[in-house]
Amino acid sequence: MKRVYYLVFFSGIFLLLLPYCYTDKKAWHKGNIMPEGFAKLTRQDQVLYCAKCHQQEYDNEMKGPHANAYQRFQQHVAFVNSDKYDCAWYTASVNKKKGECVSCHTPQDLFQTVFEKRVDNMDPMASLRANIKPFPPPRVAESSRSTSVDCISCHYDGQSILATNSKPHQLFNAPECNPKDNPIMSSNMTCYPCHWDAVNTLLPDAARLTVKDAKCTSCHMEHDAKGNVTHYTFWKHDSPDKHNVLIERIVDDFSVNINKDGLAEITWLNTAVPHELAPGPEMIFKCQLLSQDSNVIGTKVVRMNLKKKIDTEMAEVFGTKILGGVDGDPPKLDHTPLKYTFDVKNTADAKMMRITLIKKAQHWFPDSLGIYKTERVIGLQRPL
Ligand code: HEC
Ligand code: HEC
Ligand code: HEC
Ligand code: HEC
Ligand code: HEC
């Protein structure tokens, strides 16, 4: 009888070890698992190597912000240096900073630079946060820059492909990339080197109002019907075939009524955004109060930006010069509403409000550079 137990016990262990026996030891542990010659490929060909087997991830990545970050940055530099832009001191400041800017727009591999040697740290969050703004160093060779923030920047430590929840069966069917789980990759820290403001200020409870996991990717990456990420990241220049759910959630937070003073009153109760925003972007909510037959009877423009904060912070750099733009409000993270009132010709006519949402990359640039995101008509909430 005892023998049977032994047999069951040892065959159990054998089965558990099987995956390790089957894969190339070099691939599973130390040593570079990428095929010989991978290191010598151009950056573009390294990304295309991943694309060979991860077509969906590649296609979606190409439509998102990270694969286009270097081109967008170059367009910005070209724009401020063109005749279309007329603010010499800002242009001079961008030209001076160019070398530092590129660190996030075309970075060296995170796991071979900022995350190096921190992989086994029990608390990667604490050790990284101690290094307040751990910008990754930029890639130097101009020819390597066009892939911007790419697969290799986020997933490769020089030896292995890093993943969040690779499954045992992948040891059999993915010898070519042999993903290895990594604690930083599974946390929001992957985003930290370039989005430290959002990571530092994220309120998990606020995030869980809309998603199960308080993860950056839960909200910012598209998910398919089965709930798996498709690797598309929503952004201001969304591809026309993508439906940005975040934009809908933001507009959902707006309501309108006529208050006791006879003024139209917009209430913005933020439930969509669980963290502070980046310094640059702006959302413009053009709110038009409409009558039954859709005549505009009052208009209010609400702006979501960090202009007041940035102007104060940038005083150190820019002195008395102030960037353009119009003051707005950051989204409130304490679940209290913001209210905006405005005059209406005849309150009795008010029936609904049309919200047109425009997103701008820089609040200090003219509104004409904004990108149309969505339009929604909501009914007026009459007090009971
Ligand atoms: C020859 C094919 C092949 C190539 C090339 C390849 N992979 Fe993979 N990869 C796979 C397979 C197969 C899996 C396992 C997928 C599964 O079973 O869900 C996998 C898994 C992964 C995972 C983990 C998926 C998960 O569910 O957690 C990541 C991340 C990954 N690959 C990234 C990359 C990157 C980045 C590159 C380029 C450097 C790359 N792969 C190159 C075939 C490949
Ligand atoms: C800490 C990392 C980091 C550095 C350094 C950095 N950026 Fe960015 N940049 C970002 C992130 C993240 C975004 C996206 C969020 C946003 O829109 O602000 C962005 C967005 C942009 C955009 C908007 C592009 C678009 O989609 O239209 C431009 C332009 C830009 N940055 C230019 C610059 C310039 C110029 C500098 C140097 C003065 C710079 N960046 C430095 C991280 C960085
Ligand atoms: C900005 C960093 C970043 C870049 C760039 C990036 N990834 Fe990822 N990738 C992630 C993160 C984070 C996850 C985990 C998402 C989750 O499940 O929450 C992930 C998940 C994955 C997965 C597993 C989930 C799935 O979609 O099957 C694969 C495969 C993958 N990435 C491949 C790629 C490939 C191929 C590229 C380049 C075309 C790439 N990644 C570029 C950060 C990145
Ligand atoms: C190496 C730096 C880097 C890392 C790491 C990184 N990003 Fe980004 N991200 C950028 C840059 C640069 C942009 C601006 C791209 C542009 O608009 O040109 C950006 C843009 C974005 C945008 C779009 C902003 C907008 O509205 O246009 C989102 C959303 C985003 N990143 C989410 C994430 C998430 C989530 C992670 C972690 C999985 C992550 N990023 C990791 C550099 C990075
Ligand atoms: C509960 C959902 C949710 C979670 C979780 C979340 N965000 Fe956001 N985030 C939003 C919404 C909503 C916006 C505003 C819409 C937009 O700009 O596209 C936003 C805006 C952004 C932007 C756009 C640029 C800006 O600042 O205006 C970036 C970049 C970003 N988030 C990064 C992150 C990172 C990094 C994390 C993880 C620490 C994260 N977000 C977690 C919902 C979320």
Question: Which band of pLDDT confidence, cut at 50, 70 and 90, is reported for residue 106?
Answer: very high
Ligand 1 surroundings by CB, under 6 angstroms: 49-50, 52-54, 151, 155-156, 161, 163-166, 170, 173-174, 176-177, 179
**Rg (Cα) of the chain, in Å, rounded?**
25
Report the candidate in 348, 369, 352 with the shortest Cα–Cα distance to residue 360: 369
- Read off the amino acid at residue 322: I
Backbone angles phi, psi at 371, to 5 degrees: -115, 125
- Read off the amino acid at residue 318: F
Distance (angstroms) between ligand 4 centre and the Cα of 64 equals 9
Q: What is the 3-state secondary structure (H, E, C) of 48-68?
A: HHHHHHCHHHHHHHHHCCHHH
pLDDT for res 11: 55
| Ligand lying closest to the C-alpha of residue 282 | 5
Backbone angles phi, psi at 210, to 5 degrees: -120, -25
Ligand 4 pocket check for 152: Cβ under 6 Å = no
Q: Where are the domains of the chain?
A: 18-200, 245-379
> Is a pLDDT exceeding 90 seen at residue 13?
no
Model-level pTM greater than 0.75?
yes
* Closest Cα to atom 42 of ligand 5: 273
Cβ–Cβ < 8 Å for 294, 272: no
359 Cα distance to chain centroid: 14
Domain 245-379 class in CATH: mainly beta
Pocket mutation for ligand 3, best pick of 154, 164, 169 (most atoms within 8 Å of C-beta): 154
* Closest Cα to atom 19 of ligand 1: 174
> Is a pLDDT exceeding 60 seen at residue 273?
yes
Q: End-to-end distance of the chain based on CA atoms, in angstroms?
A: 79
Three-state SS at 17: helix
pLDDT for res 180: 85
